[in-house]
Amino acid sequence: MNNKYSIKKKLTAMVLGGLLTMSLASGVALAADTVDLTLDDSIELALKNNQDIQQSLSDMETAKWALKEAEGSNGVSIALSSDNERVGGNYYNSYANKDKDFNNTLSASLPIYTGGKNEGNIKKSKIGIDVAALDLENEKQTVKLNVTKDYYTILKDRSLVRVKQDSVNDYTEQLKNTTAKYNAGTVAKLDVLTSQVNLVDAQQSLVSAENDYKLSVATFNNIIGLPIDTDVTIHDELRYEKYDIALDDCVMYAQQHRPDGIAAIKAIKQEEASIKVAQAGQKPQVSLEASDYFDDTTFLGDQTNKWGVGVSVSWNLFDSNVTNSQIKTAEVAKIKAESVAKQTWDTVQLDVRTAYLDMITAEKNIPTTKAAVAEAQEAYKVAQVRYVAGVGTNADVMDEQVALTTAQTNYIQALYDYNTSKATLDKAMGLQVDLDASKYNDNAKIQPDTTKNK
């Protein structure tokens, strides 16, 4: 699937025209006109409207500002302090001759050596930006999967509505035949009653199928950000397209591209930086200091003024085990991150294998269920002909109709399972939406081309 999707001009015009907005006058959502959508269109809409993605974008901004903050700790800081006192006593009255005293200090500081604290915080923040980018990509891949599944659910439910409608039509026709035969005195009243019962059952099944279709459309509209009652038109059909990548290649691809797996490794690097930051508490802190001191009876006066420039060194020799505890906490956090990363990568491999095997199973069911449909259609026609000719029974026709509906349903389900399993496999492999996660993987290798399967 292309990384950049194109929304049709008609949909864009509708959005800009306000057809998909809320009615300010009544407070009721306006029903949108019919919208033609492809799968690519649907994914693009969801990526723009999904709130989880918006939250991930906010996390990305937060990570960027955190880096700015960490980098700023290595720069010059300037501070102005001032205090104002009302003074008295013999000294001030006899010699200073003032009853107010403003003390002001302008100071500047530039860190020279922090024991690795500032460098560690900057490294953590840079990794944090990478993690935020990977989390955003993972969220986008999840949204793409959910939209794709809901899209295929619409296709499945719409196909089932057709099957149920065909069944109603067949039972209606059979009821006409049995009624005609009953009126001619060639069959018993039981045939008519049985046909009527089966027709009612088929009509109820059709109503349920139509309701399922409406619900699938509403669910789909919700995830892509359209009003729930939007009438969506999809010209696609469930189909079978061969997936030509071997399981081992899929696993290898996932190892290089799964954003959540790569982010888990990055988290270990962050904890390693946290250990360095904590260890800095056991090392001296050196900074370049400059100050200007002045006081007067008015703010920022200059009667008394002195300045100084020098190097400040501080070293925490004993802090009741506070720094050591911070180091141990960071080390434990790293151990936990390593465990989470291992669990994540185990899950990655399981996800790929599960989706792949589900896809293969569905793929094997497609030809068998398709053949069963052809056989059931032929058997139903034969049963109809035999019944009209008077050599078959109404029960034979009913049985073959049930078998036909079942075969058609199984075929549709196999196609649905195959396509959704393929979409799940794409997600399990970490197939790119916007970000090439492998660029964040230090061990990235050349992987098989999957563009033909998008």
- Domain spans of the chain, in order of start: 47-75+115-282+320-453
Name 272's Cβ contacts closer than 8 Å, sequence gap at least 6: 334
Q: Looking at residue 64, what is its pLDDT?
A: 95
Q: Looking at residue 450, what is its pLDDT?
A: 45
Question: How many helices (H) and strands (E) are present in the chain, helices listed first?
Answer: 10, 6
Name 112's Cβ contacts closer than 8 Å, sequence gap at least 6: 286, 287, 288, 311
Name 248's Cβ contacts closer than 8 Å, sequence gap at least 6: none
pLDDT block averages, 10 residues each, the chain of length 454:
40 37 34 81 94 93 94 92 68 54 84 93 95 96 97 98 97 95 93 96 98 97 93 94 94 96 95 95 93 69 73 90 94 96 96 97 97 97 94 95 97 97 97 94 51 44
Q: Looking at residue 298, what is its pLDDT?
A: 59
Q: Which two tokens mark 80?
A: 């102005």
Q: Tell me 26's DSSP state.
A: T
* Conformation bin of residue 430: beta by default, left when phi > 0, alpha when psi is -120 to 50: left
Q: Residue 366, SS3?
A: helix
Q: Looking at residue 87, what is its pLDDT?
A: 58
Residue 75 near residue 118, CB atoms below 8 Å = no
Residue 137 near residue 32, CB atoms below 8 Å = no
* C-alpha to C-alpha distance for 263 and 275, rounded to whole angstroms: 19
Q: Looking at residue 92, what is its pLDDT?
A: 52
CB atoms within 10 A of CB 199: 19
Give the position of tokens 């986008």: 140
Amino acid letter for position 394:
N
Q: What is the fold of 47-75+115-282+320-453?
A: Outer membrane efflux proteins (OEP) (1.20.1600)
Q: Which two tokens mark 173?
A: 């026709």
Q: Looking at residue 102, what is its pLDDT?
A: 73
Q: Which two tokens mark 340?
A: 């989470």
DSSP track, 273-316: HHHHHHHGGGS-EEEEEEEEEEEESSTT--SEEEEEEEEEEE--
- Intra-chain end-to-end CA distance of the chain, in Å: 4
* C-alpha to C-alpha distance for 406 and 411, rounded to whole angstroms: 9
Q: Looking at residue 202, what is its pLDDT?
A: 97
Burial class (CB in 10 A: 0-12, 13-18, 19+), 206: buried
| CA-based nearest residue to 394, from 209, 181, 107 | 181
* C-alpha to C-alpha distance for 101 and 76, rounded to whole angstroms: 29
